[in-house]
Amino acid sequence: MSEQDYASKDLKRRPFRSTLILVSMTTVVASTTFLFLFGNVLLDVTSFVTSSDTTKSLGVFFETFIWATILLVLILGVVVISSTVSLEMVTRRKDIGLMKSIGTLMDTIFDHFMAQALIMLGSSVVLGIALGAFLYVLGLLWLSSIVTNLVISSSFPWLHVVALGAIYLVVGYFAAQRPIYNPRYFWFAISYCHEGHGASILRVT
């Protein structure tokens, strides 16, 4: 059985928690994708609406506000995704520490838990970006129906979507590494096993 197959099977062993994490990260990715893409459209709308001299100063204010909002949304998404992935690995500290204490190779431990993290992260990013892009298209249709004479480009911002996906994947990947390599989980597992709980920590099938 490959590392990916075993990681998937281990995730299915905890269906409620795995589903909760998947839904939460998908929601974050979807909302940030929509706000990031739609915010760029609102910048063009602001320039269109405030094209006259009397409203240029107001346009500068709105453009600055939109840029700040886009930046904050992106930072929030990165923080939430990295925290969620890292905390999920932390909750597996007993499993990680026990595998270290019984002599499992570090590469094997890393491959197993990173496979789990990447399955959850990759699924969340794909589903979240798809949902966010769908909301973005709906937003464009709504915007074109209420703002007359507005010309909206028909080209889809693939570069922005790819950049967002890459950022989330890279951040989530590095966020999952530290709990796996943290040496304190080794001693935590040893003390836990001495209390007689070791047999129930890890179930390898």
Is residue 167's pLDDT more than 50? yes
The number of domains in the chain is: 1
Which has more confidence, 196 or 170? 170
Chain centroid, CA 49 distance in Å:
34
Joined together, the tokens standing for residue 31 give 């909302």
Q: What is the mean pLDDT of the chain?
A: 79
- Domain assignment present for 203: no
- Domain assignment present for 205: no
Is residue 142's pLDDT more than 80? yes
CB-based contact 179:185 (threshold 8 Å):
yes
- Domain assignment present for 109: yes
Which has more confidence, 55 or 166? 166
- Provide the domain limits for residue 96: 3-198
- pTM score: 0.76
- Domain assignment present for 204: no
**pLDDT bracket for residue 146 (50, 70, 90):** confident
**Shortest CA distance to 25 belongs to which of 81, 89, 74, 76?**
81
**pLDDT bracket for residue 203 (50, 70, 90):** very low
**pLDDT bracket for residue 165 (50, 70, 90):** very high
C-alpha span between 174 and 191 (Å, rounded): 28
- Domain assignment present for 127: yes
